């Protein structure tokens, strides 16, 4: 299996057909007059307005569309090189200027996610959108990044050869200037490729059924009566007469109807009160009560009892109609994998998300990226295209176990295992860090090594006296073995119950365990969002600059070497492990660094 950080097309795969560019059209520039004439009749169609209405009204439509859009928003653009002969992408370019230009696509990192999310929604609902790029005047002589907007067709208007749009940040109608660029990107309808098309269009009848079913159910829930019908009421019954608008008295039937309607209106306006649940009181002779109770003529039909089932059937049909996996459309994708529910399967990406990113990348390459490279003086701008890093979107099969087995059996290199696991190069530990890790592991296995002045100086920054490690200096061989004068065989060094100070040897051993836990936490806190921001902060102190959530989970896998230390000092295993974990959790919760004095206080409570 091959896993790459930058992956949309691979070497050997065919380049996208040039026809894909037919679905992106510049609406400003030298050809603006011709383009305006060609599109003067292409206004927002009625089905697109209906699609936006149901996007706002039907949650079963909005939710899966937003899911796909959120996945698209995680893509990161980069500049890729293409082979001049085959036009195949060969990988990311090493030209810093070109990469810096690509980083400004869609407004840079601070605006890109929101714009991509908007673009993906427009792509799925009306099937078209308009990308506007407006140069920003320099500030203090320094150039400023362009302003990018992504708008639906309802926010863009053409009149007399000029284009205006409603700015979403100022709500002002703004006219495009000579330096502005606007590109229409759309999903072409197979029959008339100048018009947009989406899967929502054939789903409109289904959405109307879902809406009407929901309205029917809501009306029944709001009604105080079980259903419509005719209520036969004896005219001899004693009922307070109502009044017509002109003040005249109503007949009995009108009085009853008026009273019931008033009661229903009152109950609907105050549904949570006791009065809304109280019955309507009518007096009549006793012999009329039973006949009157049977005098309601139910006019409901069998369809009323099937409305919920019909709505569910409509939702199922909607899931089949939408252009996305059925589990995503039905909202059940999280049931398969809770932890990766925000990601998508690679097949979902290739079929449903890649076409959108591909269309956007090709359009921006043609109408913004390459012109920008020309303005920057970059030679051969046709060699570069906008491509996408989708590692944050695609959930690929977990091959960690296989990779670890191959690595343990010396069949693959360290670099290969790291690359296949998607670990970036800046996560590689330095040679100094590797040395400290190996020394710490060695001391855990043989605590007497801490008495070696060279080792203790590297690990702790100071020398530990041999006696503090439980042995005399003359008793330690270069390999760390005790040759004489040590504790008698079979005996352990225990803390006296009345001793106030903790031996340095125990503190040093416990310190290694805590440092290992904090180092592990630091690695887990270095997510993609904050990687590279805290290069001057040691790994074991990252919790002091990065807020640590789920403290218990961050410490999972730590404190595995406490039993050996507890046995060496005659301490209770579970108590030592619990105290060290509690101490580490306190450091993480409050964001404070490790303190040897604080650890000593904790160790005094262990027996």
pLDDT in tens, 284-308: 666 766 776 666 655 455 556 678 8
Task: Please report which confidence band the pLDDT of residue 203 belongs to, taking 50, 70 and 90 as the band edges.
Answer: very high
Q: Is 475 helix (H, G, I), strand (E, B) or coil?
A: helix
Nearest to 296 by CA among 233, 235, 236: 233
Cα gap 99→532, rounded to integer Å: 18
Position 335 pLDDT exceeds 80: no
Check: CB of residue 154 under 8 Å from CB of residue 44: yes
Top pLDDT among 472 and 543 is at 543
Looking at residue 193, what is its pLDDT? 84
Residues in the chain: 607
Top pLDDT among 449 and 607 is at 607
Nearest to 352 by CA among 384, 318, 322: 322
The two most distant CA atoms of the chain are separated, in Å, by 119
pLDDT digits (tens, 9 = 90+) for 505-518: 888 888 889 988 88
Looking at residue 287, what is its pLDDT? 72
Give the pLDDT mean for 91-115.
89
Task: Please report which confidence band the pLDDT of residue 310 belongs to, taking 50, 70 and 90 as the band edges.
Answer: confident
Percent of the chain with pLDDT over 70: 67
Task: Please report which confidence band the pLDDT of residue 398 belongs to, taking 50, 70 and 90 as the band edges.
Answer: low
Looking at residue 337, what is its pLDDT? 42
Top pLDDT among 163 and 98 is at 98
Nearest to 521 by CA among 569, 589, 471, 474: 589
Task: Please report which confidence band the pLDDT of residue 218 belongs to, taking 50, 70 and 90 as the band edges.
Answer: confident
Q: Which stretch of DSSP H or E encloses residue 524? A: helix 504-525
Looking at residue 394, what is its pLDDT? 73
Check: CB of residue 378 under 8 Å from CB of residue 97: yes
Looking at residue 485, what is its pLDDT? 44
Looking at residue 98, what is its pLDDT? 92
pLDDT digits (tens, 9 = 90+) for 20-32: 333 555 555 444 4
Cα gap 600→496, rounded to integer Å: 15
């Amino acid at each position: 299996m091959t896993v790459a950080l930058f992956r949309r097309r691979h070497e050997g795969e065919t380049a996208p057909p040039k026809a894909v560019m037919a679905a992106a059209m510049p609406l400003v520039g030298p050809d603006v007059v011709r383009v305006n004439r060609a599109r003067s009749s292409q206004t927002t169609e009625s089905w697109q307005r209906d699609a936006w209405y149901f996007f706002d009204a039907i949650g079963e439509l909005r939710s899966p569309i937003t899911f796909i859009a959120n996945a698209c928003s995680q893509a990161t653009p980069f500049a890729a090189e293409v082979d001049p002969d085959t036009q195949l992408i060969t990988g990311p370019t090493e030209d810093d200027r070109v990469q810096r230009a690509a980083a400004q696509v869609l407004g840079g990192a601070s605006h890109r996610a929101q714009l991509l999310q908007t673009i993906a929604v427009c792509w799925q609902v009306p099937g078209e959108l308009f990308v506007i790029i407006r140069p920003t005047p320099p500030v203090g002589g320094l150039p400023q990044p362009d302003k990018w907007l992504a708008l639906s067709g309802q926010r863009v208007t053409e009149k007399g050869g000029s284009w205006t749009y409603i700015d979403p940040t100022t709500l002002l109608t703004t006219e495009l200037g000579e330096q502005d660029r606007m590109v229409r990107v759309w999903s072409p309808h197979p029959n008339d490729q100048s018009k947009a098309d989406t899967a929502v269009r054939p789903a409109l009848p289904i959405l109307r059924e879902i809406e009407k079913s929901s309205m029917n159910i809501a009306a029944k829930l709001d009604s105080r009566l079980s259903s419509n019908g005719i209520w036969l009421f004896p005219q001899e019954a004693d009922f307070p007469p109502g009044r017509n608008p002109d003040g005249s008295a109503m007949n009995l039937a009108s009085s009853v109807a008026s009273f019931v309607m008033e009661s229903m209106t009152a109950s609907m306006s105050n549904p949570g009160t006791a009065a809304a649940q109280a019955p309507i009181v009518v007096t009549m002779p006793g012999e009329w009560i039973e006949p009157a109770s049977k005098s309601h003529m139910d006019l409901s039909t069998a369809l009323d009892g099937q409305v919920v089932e019909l709505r569910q059937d409509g939702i199922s049909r909607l899931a089949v109609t939408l252009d996305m996996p059925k589990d995503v459309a039905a909202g059940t994708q999280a049931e398969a994998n809770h932890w990766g529910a925000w990601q998508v399967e690679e097949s979902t990406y290739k079929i449903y998300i890649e076409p959108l990113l591909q269309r956007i990348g090709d359009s921006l390459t043609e109408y913004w990226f390459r012109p920008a490279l020309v303005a920057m003086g970059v030679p051969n701008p046709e060699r570069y295209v906008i491509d996408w890093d989708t590692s944050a979107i695609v959930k690929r099969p977990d091959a960690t176990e296989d990779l670890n087995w191959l690595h343990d059996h010396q069949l693959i290199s360290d670099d290969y295992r790291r690359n296949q696991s998607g670990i970036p190069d800046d996560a590689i530990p330095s040679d100094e860090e590797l040395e400290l890790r190996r020394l710490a592991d060695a001391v855990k296995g043989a605590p007497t090594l801490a008495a070696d002045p060279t080792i203790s100086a590297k690990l702790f920054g100071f020398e530990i006296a041999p006696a503090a490690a439980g042995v005399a200096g003359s008793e330690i061989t270069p390999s760390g073995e005790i040759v004489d004068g040590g504790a008698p065989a079979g005996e352990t060094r225990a803390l006296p119950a009345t001793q106030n100070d903790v031996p340095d040897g125990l503190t040093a051993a416990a310190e290694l365990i805590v440092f290992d836990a904090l180092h592990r936490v630091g690695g887990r806190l270095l997510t993609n969002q904050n990687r590279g921001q805290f290069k001057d902060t040691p790994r074991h102190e990252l919790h002091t600059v990065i807020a640590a959530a789920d403290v218990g989970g961050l410490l999972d896998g730590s404190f595995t070497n406490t039993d050996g230390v507890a046995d060496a000092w005659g301490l209770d295993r579970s108590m030592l492990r619990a105290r060290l974990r509690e101490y580490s959790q306190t450091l993480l919760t409050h964001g404070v660094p490790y303190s040897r004095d604080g650890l000593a206080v904790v160790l005094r409570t262990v027996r």
